[in-house]
Structure 1
């Protein structure tokens, strides 16, 4: 990371982002050699990323061909308008995590169910989803990303703006918030 002052050094902040960001972006290498990025739901569990998918398709084809992946999540916090006489002073406040690792198609039924449980707890925390019917499990692919490199980055502004950005995150304010 070029600007070390933007690095998130508190692992609890990174884990919180992985636990709360609703969408992650998976980067794979496509069959034609071009990078492919796909948004998806995911869960962070025991130091790994999990997501579900169909048993066939571009994601799994890419992973079977080359398991190296990149995964990204970000939390937009606020947009800061530039001054009328200097629009280049505009900036976006955010937190983000980038992961590099290897994707593995999970075959173990116990790990598959644990991954689905983690996904359901994240996206339907009130419960009510019951056991998974075997016929549905048979149609569902589960992929695990074994993390090899993880880095977090943030831009929260300076001084009072930083304090306000942290307050907005604590309040879980709806986005986007515009600072003038």
Structure 2
């Protein structure tokens, strides 16, 4: 999708920086009735892939992913309201791609390890024990990024 405000376009490096700094974003999927469904999730970005984790339960998110792999992921960073000029300073990243449930045990561990490195970096030893103990109780979702755009206003 082409960005209309090219003056606000961020380069790929700046966009990846947003992904690496941010703790959560909104994953949007499509339901059976074509209704959009957005849910906030922690995530980790690794070389063109976004990893998410969730409980092994078949809620809206999982049912939607099973029925339609199209997804959009949005992250907003560095937000500052500027009320005196009726504006907002921000940086954002929007990613489009296909999402799936990871079945391969080694890739599940890779996704979980990436999440721990990003979100709990001082607790790798505890995290690795948790991975060994709970991998079979957890879904790892993998969004393969087909398109990524970054936008910002200073």
Correspondence for 1:24: 25
Correspondence for 1:85: none
Correspondence for 1:79: 81
Equivalent residue pairs, number? 149
Matches of 2:14 and 2:129, distance apart in 1: 32
* Structure 1 gap segments, 5+ residues each: 83-88, 157-180
Mapping of residues 30-45 of structure 1, within 5 Å: 30-45=31-46
Matches of 1:16 and 1:152, distance apart in 2: 10
Correspondence for 1:144: 142
Structure 2 CA distance for partners of 1:104 and 1:125, relative to 1, 3 Å? same
Runs of 4+ in 1 over 2 A off after TM superposition: 130-135
Name the TM-score, length of structure 2 as normaliser: 0.91
Shift, 1:80, TM fit: 1.1
Contact 1:76 1:94 in 2 (8 A): yes
* Structure 2 gap segments, 5+ residues each: none
Matches of 1:50 and 1:132, distance apart in 2: 17
Q: What's the C-alpha RMSD, in Å, of the aligned pairs?
A: 1.4
Shift, 1:76, TM fit: 3.5
Contact 2:97 2:143 in 1 (8 A): yes
Matches of 2:56 and 2:83, distance apart in 1: 45
Correspondence for 1:112: 108
Correspondence for 2:117: 121
SS in 1 for 2:148: strand
Name the TM-score, length of structure 1 as normaliser: 0.78
Matches of 1:112 and 1:38, distance apart in 2: 21
SS in 1 for 2:10: coil
Structure number with the higher helix fraction is 2
